[in-house]
């Protein structure tokens, strides 16, 4: 089996492992006591199951709350808004216990919503939250993003592109004039042309853009977070596994270098011996960095 096919198989396995995430009831049972849950809120005024989000409010919350928008992974072609919460329960509860509200969103998969539609879904979810912030006592001046794998890609893309106000990345009239205060990216792809499967029409990155990155480098560029980096982007906290054989940590290293080039505050941690995802990212050392970063940037 050549390296290209091996990479695709590994990613396919990863997607299916993510799909085994705990059910909503199991996730809810692991949350900090007293957490208020607003589940399956439609964000696009339609009945699509992938246009739903959950909002988690900390117990005994007072005043307007900072919000972390949680974006799941799954190779752009699978999983749901509970997937990464399943192996990050300590981090989720640490955010809640420190006074951060969480919104976990679903979005249509790339095979049904080729780029930029998949990103339009994510942006619309946040615009809905912005419009309804008062209902949930959320502070529209303290929004952050957190994403995992494909979700890290989408979160980073949202974080770098939002200040560019590009109409094609949003549903009609859905852009909202706020500023993301921070982005936490876990092992997200940053340049689609870096994938060894960039010439394979069946690879997830090809499914994402509707063609291979090699054939359509313009589409690959438009769907890569590093394309939109400029000096006014929000701070980034980036984690990537030393032994990630699904998304090479070259993605995060290159992304961090470009952020440095433009003077954007960022910190990259290569997690020793860590694979592409899993409980090795839900440990105290990483959790402490995440909470410290969010407290500093969303103060």
pLDDT at site 22: 65
What is the gyration radius of the CA atoms in the chain, in angstroms?
Answer: 18
Question: Among the listed ranges 26-30, 121-125, 198-202, 262-266, which one has the minimum average pLDDT value?
Answer: 26-30
pLDDT at site 9: 37
**DSSP per position, 28-86:** HHHSPTT-EEEEEEESSSS--TTSEEEEEE-TT--SSEEEEEEE--STTTS--TTTGGG
Residue 21 pLDDT class (50, 70, 90 cuts): low
pLDDT at 10 over 80: no
- The mean predicted confidence, pLDDT, of the chain is 93
Helix (H, G, I), strand (E, B) or coil at 238: strand
Query: Per residue in 141-167, pLDDT tens?
Result: 999 999 999 999 999 999 999 999 999
Decide: 220 and 213 in contact? Cβ < 8 Å: yes
Residue 100 CA to its chain's centroid (Å): 17
Residue with tokens 């695709």: 8
Residue 110 pLDDT class (50, 70, 90 cuts): very high
The closest of 264, 263, 271 to 236, measured between CA atoms, is 264
Query: Strands 266-271, 236-241: parallel, antiparallel or unpaired by DSSP?
Result: parallel
pLDDT at site 17: 42
Decide: 86 and 104 in contact? Cβ < 8 Å: no
Decide: 11 and 75 in contact? Cβ < 8 Å: yes
Q: What is the percentage of the chain residues whose pLDDT exceeds 70? A: 92
Round to whole Å and give the CA distance between 44 and 58: 25
pLDDT at site 30: 87
Residue 213 CA to its chain's centroid (Å): 21
Query: Residues 273, 204, 253, 144: is their CA dihedral positive or negative?
Result: negative
Structural domains in the chain plus CATH codes: 3-297 (3.40.50.1820)
Strand partners, 143: 67, 180
pLDDT at site 197: 86
- 167 Cβ neighbours under 8 A, 6+ residues apart: 175
Query: Per residue in 41-92, pLDDT tens?
Result: 999 999 999 999 999 999 999 999 999 999 999 999 999 999 999 999 999 9
Tokens, residue 184: 């936490």
Total Cβ atoms within 10 A of residue 128: 21
- 164 Cβ neighbours under 8 A, 6+ residues apart: 228, 230
At how many degrees (to 10) do helices 89-97 and 284-297 cross? 40
């Amino acid at each position: 089996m050549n390296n290209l096919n091996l990479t695709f198989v590994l990613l396919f396995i990863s997607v299916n492992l993510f799909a085994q995430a705990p059910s909503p009831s199991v996730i809810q049972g692991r949350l900090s006591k007293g957490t208020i849950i607003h589940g399956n809120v439609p964000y696009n005024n339609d009945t699509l199951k992938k246009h739903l989000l959950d909002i988690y409010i900390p117990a005994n919350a007072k005043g307007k709350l900072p919000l972390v928008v949680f974006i799941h992974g799954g190779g752009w072609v699978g999983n749901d808004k509970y997937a990464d919460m399943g192996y990050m329960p300590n981090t989720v509860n640490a955010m809640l216990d420190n006074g951060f509200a969480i919104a976990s969103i679903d979005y249509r998969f790339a095979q049904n919503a080729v780029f930029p539609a998949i990103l339009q879904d994510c942006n619309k979810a946040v615009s809905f939250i912005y419009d309804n912030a008062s209902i949930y006592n959320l502070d529209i001046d303290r929004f952050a993003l957190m994403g995992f794998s494909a979700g890290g890609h989408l979160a980073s893309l949202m974080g770098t592109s939002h200040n560019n106000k590009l109409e094609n990345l949003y549903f009609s009239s859905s852009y909202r004039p706020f500023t993301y205060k921070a982005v936490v990216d876990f092992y997200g792809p940053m340049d689609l042309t870096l994938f060894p499967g960039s010439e394979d029409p069946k690879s997830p990155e090809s499914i994402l853009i509707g063609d291979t990155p090699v054939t359509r480098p313009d589409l690959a560029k438009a769907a890569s977070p590093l394309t939109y980096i400029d000096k006014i982007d929000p701070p980034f906290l980036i984690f990537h596994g030393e032994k990630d054989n699904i998304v090479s940590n070259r993605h995060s290293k290159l992304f961090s270098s470009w952020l440095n080039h433009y003077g954007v505050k960022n910190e990259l941690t290569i997690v020793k011996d860590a694979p592409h995802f899993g409980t090795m990212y839900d440990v105290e050392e990483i959790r402490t960095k995440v909470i410290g970063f969010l407290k500093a940037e969303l103060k």
